[in-house]
Amino acid sequence: MGEFKVHRVRFFDYMPSAIRAMAFNRQSERLAVARADGAVEIFNFSDNYFQEKVIPGQDSRAVEALCWVDQRLFSGGLNGEITEYDLENLKPRYTVAAYGGPIWTISSNNQGTMLALGCEDGTVKMFEVLAEKVQFQRNFDRQKGRIISLSWHPSGTLIAAGMMDMIRVFDAETGHATHRLLVERGVGASKSREVVVWSVAFLSDHTIISGDSAGKVQIWDGVTGTLLRTHLVTKWDVLALSVSQDQSSLVAGTSEGTVIQFQLISSTVGQQDKEWVRTRTFKNHSHDVRALAHTETAVVSGGMDTQLVVRPLLDKVEKNTQESSLRKIVFPHRSLVCCAKKAGLLLFQFPEHLELWRLGESEGHGKPGDSLTVKTKPEKLIQLKRKGEDHICCSALSPCGGWMAYSTVSSVRLYRLQYNNNNIGITKVSRLPKDLCSVHQLCFSSDSSKLFASSSHSSVIVVALNQQECTYLHTLKPKSSSRQPVHLLFASEDGKWLATANTDCEIHIYNLDKLKLHCTVPVYSSYPTAIAIHPLTSNLVVVHADQQIFEYSLEKKEYTEWSRKLQKLGLHSLWLERDTPVTHITFNSRNPAHIILHDMFMFCIIDQSLPLPEAKTLLYNQMTLRSVPEPERIRHSHAFKICKNFQVWSSH
Amino acid sequence: MAKAKRGNATSSSKMADNSDKQAEKFSLMLDSSDDEAPEEVTFEDSKTQALRSMKQALDTARREKELLKEKRRKRQELFQEQKKRKLLPADVLEEIDPTSSKKPRQSEDEAEEEQQKGDGEKELRKKKKKTRGKLAHSRILKGNYTVATLEERSMASFQQQAAEDFIQSRLYGPGSCRTTSNELLSLQNKKGWNKSAAVQFVKKDWACKEKAKAEKLKKRWIHKQHISSC
């Protein structure tokens, strides 16, 4: 076993953004999450809750509400615009101004034909959803206050709108307001402030449920316009409501961070009269819960503490299984740190700027587990602010440390870095090839002579880098007609191979000498989360979102012996139960049998020369091995050596 | 009106009145034996007199207003003339004109501002250079003038800001009963089993600039003392 020096980097102060809105698409089982900085993320719930796509944010786009119409995603924001997102090219497709002031809420009817917007000026605007765009149809009767929340009746004929101090029921055909339900203000000091109806839900039996800023969840009869029941759930605001598909369960999110479930059950067994009864309370957040989604088996909540929590409901799933465990998705499922091995530099990607740091140095040797003294402290060399309004989508640093690149949805920027003694100079490379416009992933070749950029239709653009400029070389296209974006790129160390993986689960290998497609790895149903090519054996190692590991030989174009052995034996159950995906794979130059990989919470070295762990053996056995005397260790050790001491963002 | 008239009459002709009174008294004293009946003034006469004085008052008010108006108009004209005199010559404006209709107005306004400040082209160039950083596109024409488009800071951003302020005030404003995480953690520290100090009891990064300056001054003072003692 080799010895490794670990640089503990504690200066990457990444701050995630608060979750502002979410929308669940039942057909494709995908959750769209909108964050406070305007970024939109798509999580695939059927594939281990993997964060499939990230559309970077924009300065002025303050998303307040998200809505799915079939497979199209729309958002309305405080800038008064409706945005449709292009999920294949990971950018906004177009924006339409609503001319009603800031948009507070957006909702589509069940048929998927109309979009209703609630605006600041008190109008409910109807937009028709057409094939290529949305078109304004009409306004409803203008009201005196702002429209904060909307809910369609499942039949599409009525809309309930939550405003200040009241709820209005509109007739969708005529646009006239039929009922006005007055919401009581809070007691005591809050009597003087208007109560805001933050969220409404309209059920098919004409029951309206509202959550307001006085902390009440109220049940109304939508036909007569009367209040049926009031539940005071909190002293603070009830910010979000979500109803399950079968309308028997409702969840309410509060400013306290609690999520309260109500269920439609009859108070005595056997009776027919059902009513909404408060059942469970979940306290999984430390700050306000601003967005909720009620899926068939779970409650998904997100809010100001930036974590996405999936809480399966125990009456819908089997207890004590992988399915029934609480999941907290905290960190992004992709790598935000790039390391230049030869130069000892780190590039940190933030949404609005990039930071380049030089690693510190230490001297001396020590036993495993010791901390060495730091001779030179790590220093920040460059902080580069992005130009324009768009946030940074991806970034890369060349292994020699001489080139730095980042891309946004609208442009790509390339910089040349020069080091003379203690100074560092940075010059922008102007006049990039025209094809480099909207790029999802960037990667430098290991000799820093080429830049690979993934573009639309899963193609990769190859650009050659000379002293001060770059020239377009070639576009690598896969044989399949996939339109999905490429989210992983890896250039082999000998400069011969380039591996790409896209969100259609396709992995393509290109031969860089001949600049054409070499082979396609057989498609596995789960998303690849990390890929790497071994420098000596030219084997491709892939880890998927469901934690499966494959090794594919590029020369022979088939799975390797070790990979087949692993698949036959199966991975250890504890390995498969890990809930964060592996984001990086690398290799040990001193021992070719090692594969080093990590996810957010653990760091693992797979030794291919050792036997694989059986299902019953202890997986995390590093601590026990240390306590066992030397000769015994060989007997007990297996291939997976896992260390959980550090939270790992990157490893090289 | 009648009262006022009477009042006016008394105030304006107090002296006359007094003299009148005195005269009257005198005449009374002289003609005390006359027992003249008071003069008969017909209703018509007094009515016409009242109307006349009213009209006079209205006339004076109108005249005053008109005078003020005239004065104001004259002043405005004078200012316009002064402005016109200080404007850029027409040919320069023509040059700037072909770019767009908005831009020359902007540059004109900026130019006017500059001129009014007193200095000439030099100030203009300086100001244009300063604002160039903020402006999106700029074109440099011959001479020392730059024309640039301003960013659209329209109603939308104002409304967006107002909406964001609304949310901020509802969730974090007064009456929201929130506390900081510092307070929460500090209370936990105080109430827990191992009571400890409040979180961030000593703010290490408080006034760091001042501390650095103080350090430097201290070093300098010590150095000075050292030199003076040697």
- Please spell the DSSP secondary structure of A305-371, one letter per residue: T--EEEEE-TTTS-TTSGGGS-EEE-S-SS--EEEETTTTEEEEE-SSEEEEEEPPEE-----TT--
Q: Which long-range contacts (CB under 8 A, 24 or more apart) does A503-509 make?
A: A503/A52, A503/A53, A503/A527, A504/A458, A504/A480, A506/A458, A506/A478, A506/A480, A506/A482, A507/A531, A507/A540, A507/A542, A508/A458, A508/A478, A509/A540, A509/A554
Separation of CA A458 from chain center: 20
Out of A78, A196, A255, the one facing B163 most closely (by C-beta) is A78
| CB pair distance less than 8 Å for A120 and B159 | yes
CATH code of residue A47: 2.130.10.10
Based on the domain organization, do A111 and A203 belong to the same domain?
A: yes
Residue B125 pLDDT greater than 70, yes or no = no
Residue B12 pLDDT greater than 60, yes or no = no
| Nearest-by-CA chain A residue for B180 | A287
In a domain, B129, yes or no: yes
Q: What is the pLDDT of residue A499?
A: 93
- Encoding tokens for residue B220? 């300098």
Nearest chain B Cα distance for residue A102, angstroms: 6
Based on the domain organization, do A234 and A321 belong to the same domain?
A: yes
Q: At residue A253, what is the residue type?
A: G
Residue B19 Rama label (left phi>0; alpha psi -120 to 50; beta) = alpha
Asked if A102 reaches chain B (Cβ–Cβ under 8 Å), the answer is yes
d(CA A59, CA B52): 73
Q: What is the pLDDT of residue A349?
A: 92
Based on the domain organization, do A315 and A383 belong to the same domain?
A: no
In a domain, B69, yes or no: yes
In a domain, B96, yes or no: yes
- Encoding tokens for residue A555? 């020369």
Based on the domain organization, do A27 and A148 belong to the same domain?
A: yes
pLDDT in tens, B17-53: 555 555 555 544 555 556 777 777 788 889 999 999 9
Residue partners of B101: CB distance under 8 A and separation at least 6: none
Range of the domain at B115: 2-31+42-101+111-138
Q: Of the ranges A43-57, A121-135, A175-189, A234-248, which one carries the lowest mean pLDDT score?
A: A175-189
Residue partners of A327: CB distance under 8 A and separation at least 6: A49, A309, A310, A579
DSSP 3-state assignment of B56? helix
Based on the domain organization, do A156 and A56 belong to the same domain?
A: yes
CB atoms within 10 A of CB A450: 21
Q: Residue for token digits 């960037």?
A: A442
Nearest chain A Cα distance for residue B165, angstroms: 11
Based on the domain organization, do A548 and A463 belong to the same domain?
A: no
Range of the domain at A37: 19-329
In a domain, A223, yes or no: yes
Return phi, psi of residue A404, to 5°: -140, 135
Number of folded domains that form chain B: 1
Based on the domain organization, do A172 and A304 belong to the same domain?
A: yes
In a domain, A510, yes or no: no
In a domain, A366, yes or no: no
CA distances from A629 to A611, A632, A640 (A): 19, 6, 19
Asked if A189 reaches chain B (Cβ–Cβ under 8 Å), the answer is yes
Based on the domain organization, do A39 and A78 belong to the same domain?
A: yes
Residues of B with CB under 8 A from a CB of A: 156-157, 159-160, 162-164, 170-171, 175-177
d(CA A44, CA B167): 31
Average the pLDDT over B176-202 and give the result: 81
Residue A198's pLDDT band, with cuts at 50, 70 and 90, is very high
In a domain, B12, yes or no: yes
Which is nearest to A166 in space by CA: A107, A240, A117, A220? A220
Average the pLDDT over A176-185 and give the result: 92
Average the pLDDT over B185-206 and give the result: 79
Q: Of the ranges A36-45, A68-77, B24-33, which one carries the lowest mean pLDDT score?
A: B24-33
Which is nearest to A205 in space by CA: A286, A119, A276, A305? A276
Based on the domain organization, do A290 and A348 belong to the same domain?
A: no
Cβ proximity of A252 and A211 under 8 Å: yes
- A128: which strand partners? A114, A135
Cβ proximity of A403 and A397 under 8 Å: yes
Nearest chain B Cα distance for residue A256, angstroms: 10
Model ipTM over 0.90:
no
Number of folded domains that form chain A: 3
Interface test with B, best of A61, A193, A288 (most B CBs within 10 A): A193
Highest mean pLDDT among A157-166, A353-362, B152-161, B209-218: A157-166
Q: What is the pLDDT of residue A35?
A: 94
- Chain A residues in contact with B160 by the CB 8 A cut-off are 60, 62, 78-80, 102
Based on the domain organization, do A164 and A30 belong to the same domain?
A: yes
In a domain, B227, yes or no: no
Based on the domain organization, do A234 and A286 belong to the same domain?
A: yes
Cβ proximity of A389 and A59 under 8 Å: yes
Nearest chain B Cα distance for residue A519, angstroms: 47
Average pLDDT over chain A, rounded to whole? Answer: 88
Residue B120's pLDDT band, with cuts at 50, 70 and 90, is very low
Out of A120, A193, A255, the one facing B175 most closely (by C-beta) is A193
Q: Residue for token digits 């003087």?
A: A192
d(CA A227, CA A622): 62
CB atoms within 10 A of CB A432: 21
Q: What is the pLDDT of residue B139?
A: 63
Residue A175 pLDDT greater than 80, yes or no = yes
Q: What is the pLDDT of residue B154?
A: 63
- Encoding tokens for residue A135? 């078109």
Residue A24 pLDDT greater than 90, yes or no = yes
Based on the domain organization, do A490 and A388 belong to the same domain?
A: yes
